[in-house]
Chain A
């Protein structure tokens, strides 16, 4: 039982957007997919749910290939950002009509939940999608994802455009639904720090490759920010995996990713701090080049 992709490569116009991506998503977990713009997140999510064919590689859900397989597709929901531009054709559809159409795709659609969430987000069902704000469109995609009851539900940027209160509502809603059903969720987001504690595992996608996939808390337990006098810092982190060095006069700060058994040299006069997921992500995927100290 899992949603699995093997050796997925996707080429758009001669450019490799995904490069040999293999992943196994276990049932009953909340995954986070993070990466910079253009890292390939949306492409990966759309290939996992057979909305988009891979150039090479295979995707299977609970052992069934997903491509053109109705039985497999019933287990998947991909809730992507709605495009209501002039060419999209959905701008003139009313919210409640859109939800009615979405309901026909999912055997387990929860009508009661739909009513509850439309009320929670204070959406006007009679409004046309083209008249909704970015945040309201995100609410519609969240409602589709939740009410689909699909065992594997993938949400692409569900909190884009939502204000801080609505984002908090979304994460609480997600945890409630997860507690009640144990469905698997994959959430991509740029607002990393708010999501970090909700994500059991984090997948970092960088330039079309999976840079890292790890239990979020375990990852944070092995990342340290070490700062102090430059020579002391260099001595303290000698031999460790060092990222993102920053200097200011004689002072220096580096982010280190410890491997099992490693630690920052304790006898040195340096500050050693834990970092949050956002800082760990920037250290890994920021512009500065990586080097071994």
Chain B
């Protein structure tokens, strides 16, 4: 939750991704309460409506759920959902720019695969 905001992505997306990352890293646990929109607004010095938009995105995806009068909580199974979603987006978010850069540098497919094989995961 303490990453810094960048200009190159909408703030509400960054807020929702930071909460997801905290869930993946075990900083936020399932069935645990997440910070309120006002707490997030004050921490990042952003409008609460923007923070709420980020939170609501996760509610729509079933990653967070609302307990009336208390606040937002991490859903059971949220971690699995985030993993699944990020894996699905991996090719688009990470492989596509990698290929584009390789292409502009004239790196062949075989050379690229060799480079990946040389690295340990």
Contact = CB atoms under 8 A, between A and B. Distances in A.
Contacts of B47: 30, 175, 197-200, 216
Interface in A252-288: 273-276
A179 B42 CA distance: 9
Nearest to A32: B47
Contact of A273 (B8, B49, B50): B8
B17 to A, nearest CB: 15
A121 interface: no
A176 interface: yes
Contacts of B10: 217, 220-221, 274
A206 B46 CA distance: 25
A105 interface: no
A200 B11 contact: no
Interface string B1-23: 00001011111100000000000
Contact of A217 (B8, B11, B42): B11
B33 interface: no
A178 B46 contact: no
A29 B10 CA distance: 20
Contact of B8 (A178, A197, A221, A274): A274
A171 B45 contact: yes
Interface residues of A, number: 20
A274 B7 contact: yes
Interface in A168-218: 168, 171-172, 175-176, 178-179, 197-200, 216-217
Contacts of A179: 38, 41-42, 48
Contacts of A171: 45
Contacts of B11: 197, 217
Lowest 3 A-B CB distances belong to which pairs?
A179-B38, A197-B46, A200-B47
Contacts of A176: 42
B7 A175 contact: no
A197 B84 CA distance: 31
Interface string B27-59: 000000000001001101111111001000000
B110 to A, nearest CB: 24
Nearest to A174: B45
